[in-house]
Amino acid sequence: MNNIGERIILLRTNKGINQAEMAKSLNISPSVMNRIELGTRAIRDYELIAIANFLKVSSDYILGIDIKDTNINPSSNIFMVNKQEQDLIKKYRKLSNKVKDKIEARIEAEYDIVMENEQESRQNA
């Protein structure tokens, strides 16, 4: 993925929004939205800001400048996090690798227990 339009299409489609709906929500004509996504028209600064806010990503991500701080994983699947999850991630990133390893092990163990309990509940139902 190497252009603005492709990133906008990816974000929009993963949110289940069609091009016309997004254009209407942003008060951009559908033909302009289409040309932006096709890359045949440059995106204007106010359009970039509106689209980034609407899609809940940074304008840098849409421009292809800085993808490290976005919620997009390398396989191009949308991975949205809420405010609580963002706060936990920020705390986690401040920890040493040794502490991170311990936390990851605990999360894996808890996850396994929860999944086993859910499977038992389904079998007993």
pLDDT in tens, the chain (125 residues): 458 999 999 999 988 999 999 999 999 999 999 999 999 999 999 999 999 999 999 888 898 886 554 455 444 444 566 778 778 888 888 989 899 899 999 999 999 999 999 898 888 87
26: left (phi over 0), alpha (psi -120 to 50) or beta: alpha
- Output the pLDDT for position 54: 94
- Output the pLDDT for position 28: 94
Distance from C-alpha of 10 to C-alpha of 14, rounded to nearest angstrom: 6
Nearest CA-CA partner of 23 in 14, 12, 15: 12
Domain 4-63 CATH assignment equals 1.10.260.40: yes
Distance from C-alpha of 39 to C-alpha of 6, rounded to nearest angstrom: 8
- Output the pLDDT for position 79: 54
Domain boundaries, the chain: 4-63, 83-124
Question: By three-state DSSP, how is residue 87 classified?
Answer: helix
- Output the pLDDT for position 53: 93
- Output the pLDDT for position 84: 81
Tokens of 122: 């389904």
